């Protein structure tokens, strides 16, 4: 057996023994040994994409939803560079990826050889661990090295402390395909009982105890873990729960869905300063929330890895791997005040959103509210990281039975179609995505799939306001003449033609009462909702003003 084939087969086998079930491949020549090994492995589900960036975000979506490592394979050169945006997102959001980049052997590097660049530590500090595997050789000791390396890579990527991307750079000499000879100098077999190395995770340290008498608030941001446990504890303690959509804590009687608008009212924010705030995940959507956090006398951040914890406001007073929120209801007046204000705010928001004259059609905040409410229990909703996730945050009511995901680590718009497809493929149930038009266009290649590829049950709902709507909410909107060209960036693309080019079923929604019917169906499909940027800005301003008037501070 040639060394390239032996390394690839052993590496893939050991990763499967560790728990790998999904592999995403972007085709190429130098990666042929890995591609053939993955294709031949019946215990794996293989996904092939022609665009490396789309492939990388597909793997990210799969890993984000499955919460376990997904392997990503490409050939040498700029193919590996195209993985970088997804690697950065995976690093920032703690998503486990195994990057298997094929490379040219050392004697070809730095010579001008075709498709050869410096791939050593290509992704810099964005990976949790890097290894230059070395050119495989037919000599004793290689199998133990390869298998132990695979175990180390899988476990470092999976965590549980600080999961994220791991990069193995694999240099292959020709021949790159099997030569018909099965002999090797030692057994290529793995351990008959499982992985070559079994990692044992020590139990977490003792939880930080919070006295039950204190008036507290639980804040749930993107990427939070153990959410149900903490939401239940907050309920027992009489704490309100302020959860971003992708924090998946916006359910139950203690969920304060309108927290963004409440904390945007200076009178309410001052009157509701807590004794303690416990934060899960990475909050970052709401500026009023972040400003309010800065004034908290005690802010406890829960983080699995005590060397990397989210604290964008620099207001954390303690960081702990676990927190114990105990006791029965603490201050009934405290919780009742939050809930009463939330009720008033929700009523004011609904009146604005239901005012067709104000929105001049189906506004973006109303679309977010109605879509989140219309999805069936057990559904998954993948949110674009620009305006869609913010509209959900500001308009979505509390509800159970819906899982929300977003690429909020680096909060870019790249690769979102592919990430949503990956998450849908890993989800056991119907999936949906709410994306802006620029986000969709940025990854339209994600719709390109070969006839033999696994197909997702995913409805892509695209808000088309012909440009970058979020800039209309920022100071740039006041710049006049240059705004539309360099910030608004209208594109004039007919999304129906893009859908037709890839054979994707397409529906155009013009009125609010058409949405529920349009999103029904199965398989991959596209629903376009055309909106007006200026009208949606007016709706968002009216929401804020209506809440302040209803609160009366």
For residue 360, what pLDDT is reported?
66
The domain covering 361-531 belongs, at the CATH homologous superfamily level, to Thiamin diphosphate (ThDP)-binding fold, Pyr/PP domains (3.40.50.970)
What order of strands is seen across the sheet that includes strand 241-243? 241-243, 216-220, 276-280, 299-302, 318-320
pLDDT in tens, 455-504: 999 999 999 998 877 777 777 777 777 887 878 888 899 999 999 999 99
Give yes or no for a contact between 346 and 397, defined as CB atoms under 8 angstroms apart.
yes
Report the distance separating Cα 279 and Cα 260, nearest Å: 16
Q: What is the pLDDT of residues 63-118, one digit of tens each?
A: 999 999 999 999 999 999 999 999 999 999 999 999 999 999 999 998 988 889 99
Structure tokens at 326: 């105990």
Name which of 503, 450, 405 is nearest 62 in CA terms. Answer: 405
Cβ neighbors of 182 (< 8 A, separation 6 or more) are 1
Distance CA 99, CA 251 (A): 36
pLDDT of residue 258: 98
CATH number for the 3-171 domain, one of 3.40.190.10, 3.40.50.970, 3.30.413.10, 3.30.360.10?
A: 3.40.50.970
- Rounded to the nearest 10 degrees, the angle between the axes of helix 364-374 and helix 332-353 is 120
In this structure, are residues 496 and 421 in contact, taking their beta carbons and an 8 Å threshold?
no
Taking only the tens place, the pLDDT of each residue in 300-313 is 999 988 888 999 99
CA gap 430, 334 in Å, rounded: 38
Question: Within 13 Å, how many C-alpha atoms sit on residue 417's CB side?
Answer: 25
Indicate the helix (H) or strand (E) that contains 219.
strand 216-220
Q: Torsion angle of alpha carbons 493, 496, 498, 502, nearest 10°?
A: 180
Asked if 356 contacts 41 with a C-beta cutoff of 8 angstroms, the reply is: no
Phi-psi region of 20 (alpha: psi -120 to 50; beta: other; left: phi over 0): beta
Average pLDDT of the chain to the nearest whole number: 93
Among candidate residues 281, 176, 171, 264, the one with its CA nearest the CA of residue 222? 281
Domain 208-341 classification at class level: alpha beta
For position 359, what pLDDT does the model report?
62
418 touches 441 (CB < 8 A):
no
Pick from 360, 142, 327: which is nearest to 238 by CA? 327
- One-letter-per-residue 3-state SS of 414-463: CCHHHHHHHHHHHCCCCEEEEEEHHHHHHCHHHHCCCCCCCCCCEEEEEE
- Whether the domain at 208-341 and the domain at 361-531 fall into the same CATH topology: yes
Beta bridge partners of 208: 323
Enumerate long-range contacts of 131-136, CB under 8 Å, 24 or more apart.
Answer: 131/167, 131/168, 131/169, 132/169, 132/171, 133/7, 133/168, 133/169, 133/170, 133/171, 134/171, 135/3, 135/105, 135/106, 135/171, 135/172, 135/173, 136/3, 136/4, 136/6, 136/7, 136/172
**Mean pLDDT score, 152-161:** 94
3-class DSSP assignment, residue 221: coil
Q: Is the per-residue pLDDT at 166 higher than 70?
A: yes
361, two tokens: 């059609």
Domain residue ranges of the chain, discontinuous segments joined by +: 3-171, 208-341, 361-531
Task: Give the pLDDT band of residue 533 (cuts 50, 70, 90).
Answer: confident
Interacting residues of 232 by C-beta distance below 8 A, sequence separation 6+: none
């Amino acid at each position: 057996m040639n060394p390239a084939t032996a390394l690839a087969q052993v590496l893939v086998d050991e990763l499967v023994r560790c728990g790998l079930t999904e592999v995403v491949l972007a085709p190429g020549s130098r990666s042929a040994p890995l591609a053939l090994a993955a294709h031949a492995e019946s215990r794996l589900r293989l996904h092939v994409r022609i665009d490396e960036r789309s492939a990388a975000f597909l793997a990210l979506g799969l890993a984000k939803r499955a919460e376990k490592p997904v392997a990503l394979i490409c050939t040498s050169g700029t193919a590996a560079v195209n993985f970088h945006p997804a690697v950065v997102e995976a690093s920032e959001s703690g998503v486990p990826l195994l990057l298997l980049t094929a490379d040219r052997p050392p004697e070809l590097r730095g010579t001008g050889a075709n498709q050869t660049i410096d791939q050593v530590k290509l992704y810099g500090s964005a990976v949790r661990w890097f290894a230059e595997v070395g050119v495989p050789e037919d000599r004793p000791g290689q199998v133990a090295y390869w298998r132990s390396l695979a175990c180390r890579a899988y476990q470092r990527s999976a965590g549980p402390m600080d999961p994220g991307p791991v990069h193995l750079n694999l240099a292959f000499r020709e021949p790159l395909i099997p030569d018909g000879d099965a002999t090797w100098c030692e057994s290529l077999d793995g351990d008959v009982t499982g992985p070559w190395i079994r990692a044992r995770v020590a139990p977490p340290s003792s939880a930080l105890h919070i006295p039950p008498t204190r008036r507290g608030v639980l804040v749930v941001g993107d990427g939070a873990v153990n959410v149900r446990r903490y939401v239940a504890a907050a309920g027992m303690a009489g704490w309100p729960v302020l959860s971003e959509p992708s924090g998946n804590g916006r359910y139950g009687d203690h969920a304060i869905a309108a927290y963004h608008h409440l904390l945007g009212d200076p009178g309410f924010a001052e009157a509701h300063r807590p004794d303690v705030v416990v934060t899960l995940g990475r909050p970052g959507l709401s500026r009023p929330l972040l400003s309010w956090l800065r004034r908290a006398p005690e802010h406890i951040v829960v983080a699995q890895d005590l060397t990397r914890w989210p604290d964008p406001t620099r207001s954390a007073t303690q960081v702990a791997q676990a927190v114990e929120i105990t006791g029965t209801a603490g201050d009934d007046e405290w919780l009742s005040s939050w809930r009463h204000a939330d009720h008033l705010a929700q009523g004011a928001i609904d009146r604005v959103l239901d005012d067709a004259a104000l929105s001049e059609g189906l506004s973006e905040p109303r679309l977010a509210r109605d879509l989140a409410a219309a999805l069936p229990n057990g559904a998954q909703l993948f949110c674009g990281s620009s305006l869609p996730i913010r509209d959900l945050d500001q308009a979505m009511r509390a509800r159970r039975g819906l899982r929300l995901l977003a690429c909020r680590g680096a909060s870019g718009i790249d690769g979102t179609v592919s990430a949503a497809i990956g998450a849908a493929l890993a989800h056991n149930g119907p999936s949906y995505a709410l994306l802006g038009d620029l986000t969709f266009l940025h990854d339209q290649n994600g719709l390109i799939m070969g006839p033999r590829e696994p197909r997702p049950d995913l409805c892509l709902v695209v808000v088309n306001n012909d440009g970058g709507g979020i800039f209309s909410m920022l100071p740039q909107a006041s710049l006049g003449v240059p705004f539309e060209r360099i910030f608004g960036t209208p594109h004039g693309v007919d999304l129906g033609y893009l859908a037709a080019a890839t054979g994707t079923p397409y529906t155009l929604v013009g009125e609010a009462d058409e949405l529920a019917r349009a999103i029904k169906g199965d398989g991959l499909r596209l629903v376009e909702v055309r909106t007006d940027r200026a009208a949606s800005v007016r709706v968002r301003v009216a929401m804020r003003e209506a809440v302040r008037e209803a609160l009366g501070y």
